[in-house]
Every structure is written in C-alpha cells, then in structure tokens.
Structure 1
C-alpha cells in the first residue's frame, strides 16, 4: 500500500513537471510606434529571445525571461537609427539588451498578465504586461502583448516637444 501511494505521488509530481517544462522562444517579432511632430515613427526590433514556462492550466506557475537586442531596431531612416543607438537614447554599446523577467503571472478574465522587472539602459522598473496566449495545433504557444512604455522613465532620450514620451510596443513570440 505504501509503495502504491509513493508511486502515485511520484507520478503526480512528474506529470506536473512535464506540463510546466521550460520552452525556448523559437520565433516572433517586436514592433514599436511613437508619435512625433511629423506623424508616427514605426519601427521594429529583432525577435525576442529567451525562455518561458507556460501552461494555460497553471498560469501561476508560468515565468518569462525575455531579451531583445537593443541594437537591432530599424525605423527605415539610417540617420535616426544611428542616433537612437547612441548614448542619448539606447546606448547600445553599453546596454545591449532590453530585458524582462517575470516574478508573477496570472489570468485576468480571458487574458493573462505578467508582472516583473523591465530593464532598459541602466534602469529597472516593475511593470505588468498584459498578454494573450493561444495553443497551436503543433503544441507551441503563440503569445502576444501590446503595452505602453514611457521612454523617459528609462532615460531613452530627453523631454522634447517634437517627440512624445509614450512608446507603444507590440511583442509576439512563439514558444516551444
């Protein structure tokens, strides 16, 4: 009887580990937009990279450790891109990554939210990022998040009447 009980406990523990295994980000995109005096500047970064633990049945056990290479953005204007890579904005030589590491994930209605630390340049702040999760037929998950960031909170540029402070970010990732 004791053997059977021990075996059941072991099986449940192993099943829990399998359903919450660590996944890699295998594809994705990062887009942003910010309004300025002449309209809206749209741009992209390379896909996010990192690890995720996610299962929609146990979102409280989820975690994310995601990085985006700060030097990979493109706005279709070489002069502007060069300026944004400088120490006035992203300072990519000194701070090569934008990093988000979650500390809590929870379900809110039919969506999720991840609370954690967002670091850009040398500034780290606690943020809550909303996201949608969809399980694909092949077992991967598609995660999408749209959120606003005040660039001045992270020392990305200075106050400027020609450029708005709030940047909208759209992050998409497929984890496997």
Structure 2
C-alpha cells in the first residue's frame, strides 16, 4: 500500500512538472505613455516575443524570457519616432531589443510578481513587475503587466524639463 501511495505522489508531482511546459508568446501588444509639456505621448512597440513557462498551480517554477524589438517604436509622429530610434534614445542599430529575463516568480496576496533583469540599451537592472495571468479554455494564458520605468535609468534620453522621466508600460501577451 505504501508503494502505491508513493507512486501516486510521484506521478502527481511529475504531472505538475509536465503541465508547466515551455510555451511561445503567440500574440500580444506593448503600449506606453509618457507625459511631456504638451500632454501625454502614447505609443506602441510590436508585440513581445519569446518563451514562457507558467502554471498557476506552481508559480514558483515559472519563467519568462521576453524580447521587444526597439525599432518598432511608434507614436504616429515620424520625426519623433526617428529621433527616438537614434543614439540619443533607444539606439536601435546598436541595441535592437529590449529584453526581460526572469529569475523568480511568486504569488503574494493573490497577485503574481516576477523578478528579473530588464535590459535596454547597454543597461541591465533587476526589477520586480506585477502581472496577471488568466487561463483560457484552450489552455493558453493571457498575461498582462502594467509598470513604470524611469527612462533615465536606462540612458533613454537625458534629463529634460519638457519630458517626464517616468514611462508607464502596458504589456500583454498570450502564451500557448
């Protein structure tokens, strides 16, 4: 009887590991907003791409490896977009990706948070980002995160009284 119980526990643990398989980001969006002297500038990047391992039953085993193409920056102002892609801001020729790689995922007070390294340009910083995960009927997850980034921490432009330092980012991804 003990052997059957031990085997059942082992199979349950294995099933938990199997259900947390690596998934691809299949769709999503990346939006941002930053205040400046004339109001708020809203823009987008193309959808994030990368891989994720996530299962709401075992968030501590989750991981995210996400990239956003910096050259897909759009604000519907061609002159501003060109300037933002230059070496003064994102320097997309030299640093084509914004990259986030997780090191820890946890659930606190009913909410998820992921800690990892966020890299823009040649600057990498450890950040903790909140996120929500909703499972769909097909087994995919809709992941959303809204967070603030200080652009100066990553050498995105210089201090300027016309442009605020804090940028709000809204990231959405469907993993399957």
Does the alignment reach a TM-score above 0.5? yes
State the number of aligned residues.
Answer: 176
Residues in 2 aligned to 1:47 and 1:91: alpha-carbon distance in whole angstroms: 19
Partner of 2:57: 57
Residues in 2 aligned to 1:70 and 1:110: alpha-carbon distance in whole angstroms: 33
Q: How does 1:17-32 map to 2 (within 5 A)?
A: 17-32=17-32
Residues in 2 aligned to 1:102 and 1:28: alpha-carbon distance in whole angstroms: 18
Q: Contact 1:29/1:46 (CA < 8 Å) preserved in 2?
A: yes
Q: Which moved more, 1:9-18 or 1:54-63?
A: 9-18
Partner of 2:124: 124
Alignment RMSD (CA, Å): 1.6
Residues in 2 aligned to 1:92 and 1:164: alpha-carbon distance in whole angstroms: 21
CA shift, 1:17, in A, is 2.4
CA shift, 1:16, in A, is 2.6
SS class of match (1:25): strand
Partner of 1:102: 102
Give the structure-1-normalised TM-score. 0.94
Moved beyond 4 Å, runs of 4+: 1-10
CA shift, 1:110, in A, is 2.4
Residues in 2 aligned to 1:12 and 1:136: alpha-carbon distance in whole angstroms: 23
